[in-house]
Structure 1
Amino acid sequence: MRRRTRESMRMGETDLAAIRYLLAAQRRGQNVSPKDLAANLDISSASVSVMIDRLEKSGHVSRRRHPTDGRGVVVVATEDSETEVRETLGIMHARMLAVAESLSPAETAAVARFLTEMAVAIEDLSSESS
């Protein structure tokens, strides 16, 4: 899904990760500074500055004054960016739902059993290594 979203939005992995982080922070009502973004993405401040410039030029983010510290700057995903992500994911989710709805009850039961058993196997593996 991430690859499709990146391709649709014509951006790289780190750029999309930045947009996703900004959108999640905005939903929580949190301000994100360039320093916060660099820490979350594990990239240098120079790299985050170049990335923000690129995303700002493409209309995906904007820089604004920090609401409580007038000297600081926050980075905000634009409404267009949020709409683009939502539309791209909406199309993919609709396709995934159509596939799930096309399964017979027996196929659905088999998939559910498989996923449950895989989850247990992974959980067992992680508890063994602890």
Structure 2
Amino acid sequence: MDADHHAKGYWYGKDPVQKEMAVDVLNALRDYRVSEQAMRRRTRSSMLMGEKDLLALRYLFEAEADGRVMKPKDLGERLGITSASMTTLIDRLVESGHIRREPHPTDRRALILRATPASDQEVRHTLGGMHRRMMDVASALSPEEAAVVTAFLRDMRQALDTVDDENTVDGGAGRGEPGAAAGDSQPS
């Protein structure tokens, strides 16, 4: 997009009270989201995985880091997919060597899912440089700047999670769950 297009802030209405600074901030946020989406596409392409596959790995890595076990049902609920879709996803990730099924440590009838060490290494190799660059940018903030950015992003998330029924095509009937994490797809 060109500078003229950004300065107009076409998505933000024509209210003369709109401050140019606010439009610049929202445009910068939009540009960040475009870059993040492109990075996710590159990652999926590089790892030959779909978005839900990568998200499943992320949730399994988080559970392991927290010392929790993840059953297929729990992962399916977290991903917002049906049991049949979950089975297909698990089969695909097991076949590709990214996860494995293991017996539950305390319930003989249940299975748990774990990401494989090779999968962890692949993700670290694929995303490590990008994560370091992002951490460098965030670490350069002063404590005051970090507090402002964090508060802004939390407020923006709340603004996005708030649905105005009168402004939706379906009157809000088809909206997803409030509070869904950025990048999480809603159940279909």
TM-score of the superposed pair, with normalisation by structure 2: 0.52
Structure 2 partner of 1:26: 64
Structure 2 partner of 1:49: 87
Structure 1 partner of 2:52: 14
Counterpart secondary structure, 1:35? helix
Structure 2 partner of 1:79: 117
**Mapped pair 1:89 → 2:127:** yes
What are the ranges of 5 or more consecutive residues in structure 2 without an aligned counterpart? 1-38, 163-188
Give 4+ residue runs of structure 1 displaced > 4 Å after superposition.
94-98
Matches within 5 A, 1:51-130: 51-94=89-132, 119=152, 126=159
Counterpart secondary structure, 2:68? coil
| Length, aligned pairs only | 111
Sort the Cα spacing of 1:97 and 1:57 in 2 relative to 1 into closer, same or farther, 3 A: same
Which has the larger helix fraction? 1
Report the AA paired with residue 61 of structure 2: L
Shift of 1:96: 5.7
What are the ranges of 5 or more consecutive residues in structure 1 without an aligned counterpart? 101-107
Shift of 1:94: 5.0
**Mapped pair 1:38 → 2:76:** yes
TM-score of the superposed pair, with normalisation by structure 1: 0.73
Name the Cα RMSD after superposition: 2.6
